[in-house]
Amino acid sequence: MRCLQAAAGNGELVANYDRLRGTNLSRRGAPIELEIDRASGRLDADIKGFIDFVHEAIYTRLEPQALAQLRNHERSE
C-alpha cells in the first residue's frame, strides 16, 4: 500500500501514466466528463490498471532490502 500511495501521490508519474495510457487519473476536464467516467466504470478500470502498473513496474522491481523495509514499515503502522 505504501508503494502505491507514493506512486499515486507523484503528480508527474500519474500525468505521464495518463498521457501514455489514455487515462484521466489526474481528473482533468469538465465535471460532466469526469462524472461520465465514474458512472461508466471507466474510472474504476483506470484505477485498477494503475494499481497493476505500479505493482509490475515499481513494486516487483524493488531491491530485496527496500522491499523488506517497506514491509517492516507497514507492519509497524
| pLDDT tens, position by position, 2-12 | 899 999 999 99
What is the model's pLDDT at position 18?
97
| pLDDT tens, position by position, 16-75 | 999 999 999 999 999 999 999 999 999 999 999 999 999 999 999 999 998 888 888 767
Cell digits for 10? 507523484
Cα–chain center distance at 15: 11
Judged against a pLDDT cut of 90, whether residue 77 lies above it is answered with no
Q: Are 21 and 28 in contact (CB under 8 A)?
A: no
How far apart are alpha carbons 69 and 77 in whole angstroms?
13
Q: Are 54 and 4 in contact (CB under 8 A)?
A: yes
Q: What's the pTM? A: 0.84
Cell digits for 63? 531491491
